[in-house]
Amino acid sequence: MDLSSLTKKDLSRLPKNLLSVLQDKDLSMSQKMMAFNMFIPNLPAPPEHDKAYDEFLEIGRTIKRLMKGGKIRLDGLDRDFKLKITEL
């Protein structure tokens, strides 16, 4: 089902289970948005998301290159979920 051209006035095209999730008062807005994005995965991302994605991808490639080169080691995550990195 292609919902990319969906307007606010045309909610009848939404699947019933998605509509019930969006109307659930027990869910936060972020949970509702996650459900919506799962049903419509091909929505274009805002430019700032694309930029952040590219930056994080480059950071990941750099970490991988340094690990393969034996310059760093990943020792897991700290209690704030930040990477623990050891220089070798």
Rounded distance, CA 44 to CA 58, Å? Answer: 21
Cα-Cα-Cα-Cα torsion 15, 17, 22, 25, nearest 10 degrees, comes to 160
How sure is the predictor about 6, in pLDDT bands with cuts at 50, 70 and 90?
low
pLDDT at 33 over 60: yes
How sure is the predictor about 69, in pLDDT bands with cuts at 50, 70 and 90?
very high
Give the predicted TM-score (pTM) of the model: 0.51
Rounded distance, CA 31 to CA 39, Å? Answer: 13
> Rounded mean pLDDT of the chain?
84
In the chain, the amino acid numbered 77 is L
Helix (H) or strand (E) holding 63: helix 47-68
What percent of the chain is modeled with pLDDT above 70? 88
